[in-house]
Each structure stands twice: as C-alpha cells, then as structure tokens.
A and B are shown apart, each in its own frame.
Chain A
C-alpha cells in the first residue's frame, strides 16, 4: 500500500468506512440519492457541498441518528476491505462480524449507542451539544460510560466504593485529563461546560468524542464560528489526532482554506448526489464542483467573464491555502 503517495487513491484499498448506495428519503424529499463513498483509514476526508446538499444527513445516517431508507454503511476494524466478512454479515442478517483480520460493522442496522461503543464511530455537532450543566470532566466521563458501568459492578460496587471501580474511575479521569490537556482546557476541568466560550466548547466536544477512542471521528463544521487563530489551532489538533491516535477523520467544512489544507480526500455533494471525489487538487479543478459552488447550472456558462473572475478569486484563495503545506 502506498501510504506516501497521495495521488494513489488508497481509500479504495483500505477503507475504514464505506457508504454504499445510500438513499435517505423524508416523505417526498429525496435528501440523499444513491450515494457511495469510501473513507480511507488514517485519512482526513472532507465532505463538502453547498448548503442543503445533504452533508449533515450523511453524518446522521452514519452515526445512527437516522436510519437510511436504502443502502449499506460499513465500518471496518483491522486493515483491508474484508469483502467476505461484509458479505457474511449482510447475508446472515448480523449487525457485525469479527474475523481474524478484524471486524466489520453494518452501521445502518445498529442503534446509535452501539455505533459509538462497538463500531467506534464518534461525532460532534454543528450546533454544539455539550451537557452544559455538567463539568468538563463529567462530560468526558459520560463518554466513557460503558467501561465504567462494567467496572462499577453495574453501580452497586460504585456505591460501596470497590477498589476495582476506583481504579477504573481513576484511569478514566486520567484519559479525560489527557484530552483536556490537549485541547487546552485542563485548568477549567471542574467548571460547568455551559460557561465556556464558544471556541472552547467546540474543542471540548472534540475531546469528548475522542474519549470514546473512535476509529472514525465525524466532525460537523468544526471550524464554524472560530477566529483564524482558533481555526489554525483546530487544524493542528486534527493533525495531532490523526498522527498519534491513528483516528480517521471525516469532516464537513465550509472553509475551503481548511479543507484544502488538511484533507487527503475530498468528496463533494450537491442536492444529495456525489458530484466529485478525489484528492484536493483533483476536486478543486473539477468544473462541476466550481459550477455547484458558484451556482451556475451549465459548464458552458463558466465562459462568462464575470463568472470566470469569481472563479479565479475562489480558486486563487484555495490555492493559497494549499500552498501553506
């Protein structure tokens, strides 16, 4: 596998998550239409598209918030596409199947709490959803609920203060402290999460998702509302997460500077349909992407001088972002 060369589409060979022929219908509205894409293991994959393209709906389907009307969503632990295991689980009506090579999970069949605990797919929200009345530390401990629940002997041991529970609680607190430290909020561990400023709340939400030890981290517009410095910090944090924890990141982002700078793989949606898929350079030059972003419905119209000027402005700006690498 060629991990170095980004021009080779390695997400085809080693996808940690695949969405296959997924459709999502809300009454008469077809929000997602026959969408298929792969998320490469260890990649930062960006899902972009104009407002209303269906990006958040994709996230909602992947994380169990909605059940897709049709299609298959597979998460894979262990390397490779594991085709046989996926087929086995699909035909046998199982929610997951483990083999020596790893395990595959059919997310569309799993309730949301299993998707985060078993399949290890975590997410954050565009409109931040922290437990605002609880402390930062408690927010991160809730994300470690299941192992702690077992360690507490399903609560009884917790009340009695058993040693094994105290040890597990200590380990969980240390993990929480590790992430609080990495998002720069360790000093405020005992404050209520709702009291944090906006940018800190965004980072806390990422820290909380990381406490699930996810294999895939889905971030819904993590840079929305951040100032340039916070945005740059966020890029560093995402890179750190990918490099040190091997977590694959799938993000929705509107800031093309961020997208082009950090993504290995970009998928473009418009009206619930995939219009482009490739690395940043490929997508950037795709005329359909340009058309979708500028709101023209025909490639030919790009020849209009005004549009052309806009186009240069946009691609010029994105090039600058990519140039920082």
Chain B
C-alpha cells in the first residue's frame, strides 16, 4: 500500500510536467490546426534559461534565500521563454499561414532541429547538473515488509510541483473561460476570419497563444530541472513526444484533456516502471495511446468533428 501511494505521488508529479507541456500543443492545435513540433524544444530552452538565471542569481548576485531565488527564476524564465515562443511563431509560422497545410509542420520540425543545435553549440553537448535545492518532505505512511520498512514520502519538491501546476491550471482555465482574450481565442478556433471581422486582431491572438504555451512550458522546464537535477539539449525531444502523446490521448484541442492526458501518461509510466519493467515504460505509454485511439479516435475528452450540413 505504501509502495502504491508512493508511485501515485511520483506519477502525479511527472504527469503535472507532461500536462503543462501538453497544454502548449493542444492550444496551438486548437487555434491554427498545426502541431508545433518545436514546443518540446521550447520546454528545453525554458529549462536552460531557468538554470542560467539560477546560477546568475546565486553565484553572481549572491542571493541565497531560496524562495526568492525560485520566484525570480520562475518569472525570468517565463518571460524569456515566452519571447522565444513568440519569435518562433513570428519567424517560422506566421509567414506560412496562408500556405498549404504541411508547410508549417515542416518548418516546425526545422525549428525543433534549429533550437536543439543552437543550444548544443552554445551550451555544449554535455549534461548540465544542478545540485538538489529542495530537500526533505513529509512521511505520509510507513509500514514494514519483507524488504524492511517502506514509507510513502511526499517531498517538498513534489508539493511545489503539484501545487504550482494546480494554481496555473486554475488561473489558465479562468483565462480561457472568463477573459476577453480567452473568448477571442475560442472564437478564432472556430472561425478566424469572422473573429477578425468582429474586430479581434487574429495575428496578435495567435501570438499570445504561443506566448502562453511557451510560458507554461518554461514552468515545466524549471520543474524538470529541479526534479531531475540534470538537463541537456536533447531533453525536449522525449518530453515533447510524451506531452504530444498526452495531448492526443486527452483529445487534441481540449485543455482539460491535455491535463488529464498528461497525468495519465505520467501515471502509466511510473506504475509500469514500478510493477513491470523500466525498459518498457515508453512502450506502455504509447501502447495505451494506440488502444485509446482505436476505440475513441478523438481522444478521451476531445469532441468528434461533425460537419453539420
């Protein structure tokens, strides 16, 4: 039982990170109908900016009070990563908006390669470590088994990750459902041209969508950095693929779907590793996706596209 609870907590933590990235995929898909394959790399850039900011604040500026440092790192990396997301959209996608459907997909893959190689060249190919910053936790339950005592621990790090994700999700749902920007985004999803004729600046709305996706990805990048302690230029690929899987599993285009899909992928991975074999955790996650898509082609919470005649 303790083992199970522990894995549940680990799965939720990992799932939160996937979910935050998945939102970026699903939002962009919703508004312009393209898969932004560079989004995983935006997440990687976020992690690098977070690491750089962390080092600048602690070693050069000498700020040591951790909550302040983390808050500043969060704000700075969100700002800079958003700028990256905006730039990618402006340079690689907007000029191709009237083009054939595959064009932005191809530039997205190109952008992904560019970002990876840019970071590899400027930062080096070796992994970048960050010593654990937040240690300790709460012991939820403990028991004994044949192998000795087992306890379910909820570390402070995990509390921060799950808590932050929760707060961001609430803020984000409010933004989409209650603010004029969210309304404009939903309107653009349905009929971009009509939204424009009603006075909505569509280009700006799309840019803001990329900016929001990048900001959430940067939060995920910071969490990844703090949780695992090592990052390199390639982390964006697998995390991106997993988050994309999460978005598709939840129903691409659906925001709650992306979060649900993220949590499910995280849980599947962790439980598979815990009870079966670590080697096949990715196979397990992707197999579940395949099975769900066979029976529910539009994902768990996605709406099937019905053309009303």
Q: Using a CB–CB distance below 8 Å, which chain A residues touch chain B?
A: 63-65, 111-113, 115-117, 122-123, 125, 129, 131-134, 138, 141-146, 148-149, 152, 154-155, 158-159, 194, 208, 212
The answer to whether B198 and A208 touch across the interface, beta carbons within 8 angstroms, is yes
**Is B183 at the interface (CB under 8 A from chain A)?**
yes
Q: Which of B171, B191, B196 contacts A131 (CB 8 A)?
A: B191
Interface pick from B49-57, B63-71, B199-207, B232-240: B199-207
**Is B186 at the interface (CB under 8 A from chain A)?**
yes
Shortest Cβ distance from residue A122 to the other chain B in the assembled complex, whole angstroms: 8
B residues in contact with A154, CB < 8 Å: 181
Instruction: Report the nearest B residue to A128, measured CB to CB.
Output: B194
Interface pick from B84-92, B172-180, B243-251, B288-296: B172-180
**Is B126 at the interface (CB under 8 A from chain A)?**
no
Docked CA distance A149–B178 (Å): 12
Instruction: Report the nearest B residue to A133, measured CB to CB.
Output: B190
Shortest Cβ distance from residue A135 to the other chain B in the assembled complex, whole angstroms: 10
Instruction: Report the nearest A residue to B199, measured CB to CB.
Output: A117
**B134-165 with Cβ < 8 A to chain A:** none
For B, the interface residue count at a CB cutoff of 8 angstroms equals 24
**Is B8 at the interface (CB under 8 A from chain A)?**
no
Shortest Cβ distance from residue A128 to the other chain B in the assembled complex, whole angstroms: 10
Instruction: Report the nearest A residue to B197, measured CB to CB.
Output: A112
Shortest Cβ distance from residue B284 to the other chain A in the assembled complex, whole angstroms: 34
| Most chain A CB atoms below 10 A, which of B184, B187, B194, B196 | B194
The answer to whether B181 and A149 touch across the interface, beta carbons within 8 angstroms, is yes
A residues in contact with B190, CB < 8 Å: 131-134
The answer to whether B179 and A152 touch across the interface, beta carbons within 8 angstroms, is yes
Q: Which of A117, A129, A133, A149 contacts B194 (CB 8 A)?
A: A129
Docked CA distance A129–B183 (Å): 16
The answer to whether B199 and A116 touch across the interface, beta carbons within 8 angstroms, is yes
Instruction: Report the nearest B residue to A209, measured CB to CB.
Output: B198
Docked CA distance A212–B174 (Å): 25
Q: Which of A64, A65, A133, A149 contacts B180 (CB 8 A)?
A: A149
> Taking A65-B193, A131-B190, A132-B190 as contacts, is the C-beta distance between A158 and B180 under 8 angstroms?
yes
Docked CA distance A122–B194 (Å): 11
Instruction: Report the nearest A residue to B306, measured CB to CB.
Output: A194
**Is B241 at the interface (CB under 8 A from chain A)?**
no
Digitize B268-309: 1 where CB-to-A-CB distance is under 8 Å, 0 elsewhere. 000000000000000000000000000000000000000010
> Taking A113-B202, A159-B175 as contacts, is the C-beta distance between A142 and B183 under 8 angstroms?
yes
The answer to whether B178 and A158 touch across the interface, beta carbons within 8 angstroms, is yes
The answer to whether A129 and B191 touch across the interface, beta carbons within 8 angstroms, is yes
A residues in contact with B186, CB < 8 Å: 131, 133-134, 138
**Is B195 at the interface (CB under 8 A from chain A)?**
yes
Docked CA distance A102–B244 (Å): 53
A-B pairs with beta carbons under 8 Å apart, 8 shown? A65-B193, A113-B200, A113-B202, A116-B197, A146-B199, A155-B175, A159-B179, A212-B198
Docked CA distance A152–B174 (Å): 13
The answer to whether B175 and A65 touch across the interface, beta carbons within 8 angstroms, is no
Instruction: Report the nearest A residue to B194, measured CB to CB.
Output: A129
Docked CA distance A212–B190 (Å): 19
> Taking A133-B186, A152-B181, A158-B180 as contacts, is the C-beta distance between A142 and B195 under 8 angstroms?
yes
B residues in contact with A158, CB < 8 Å: 174-175, 178-181
Q: Which of A115, A117, A155 contacts B179 (CB 8 A)?
A: A155
Docked CA distance A149–B208 (Å): 13
Docked CA distance A154–B180 (Å): 9
Instruction: Report the nearest A residue to B201, measured CB to CB.
Output: A113
A residues in contact with B198, CB < 8 Å: 113, 116, 122, 142-143, 145, 208, 212
The answer to whether A159 and B171 touch across the interface, beta carbons within 8 angstroms, is yes
Instruction: Report the nearest A residue to B212, measured CB to CB.
Output: A155
| Most chain B CB atoms below 10 A, which of A138, A149, A194 | A149
The answer to whether B197 and A155 touch across the interface, beta carbons within 8 angstroms, is no
The answer to whether B179 and A212 touch across the interface, beta carbons within 8 angstroms, is no
Instruction: Report the nearest B residue to A153, measured CB to CB.
Output: B179
Digitize B7-47: 1 where CB-to-A-CB distance is under 8 Å, 0 elsewhere. 00000000000000000000000000000000000000000
Task: Give me 13 other A-B pairs in contact (C-beta within 8 A), A113-B196, A158-B178 excluded.
Answer: A112-B196, A113-B201, A116-B198, A125-B194, A129-B193, A131-B191, A138-B186, A143-B199, A145-B198, A145-B199, A152-B179, A158-B174, A158-B179
Shortest Cβ distance from residue A15 to the other chain B in the assembled complex, whole angstroms: 22
Docked CA distance A146–B199 (Å): 7
A residues in contact with B178, CB < 8 Å: 158-159
Docked CA distance A133–B199 (Å): 19
B residues in contact with A145, CB < 8 Å: 180, 183-184, 187, 198-200
Shortest Cβ distance from residue B79 to the other chain A in the assembled complex, whole angstroms: 14
| Most chain A CB atoms below 10 A, which of B174, B187, B197 | B197
Shortest Cβ distance from residue B182 to the other chain A in the assembled complex, whole angstroms: 8
Instruction: Report the nearest B residue to A155, measured CB to CB.
Output: B181
Docked CA distance A125–B193 (Å): 12
Docked CA distance A155–B171 (Å): 11
Docked CA distance A132–B189 (Å): 11
Instruction: Report the nearest B residue to A115, measured CB to CB.
Output: B197
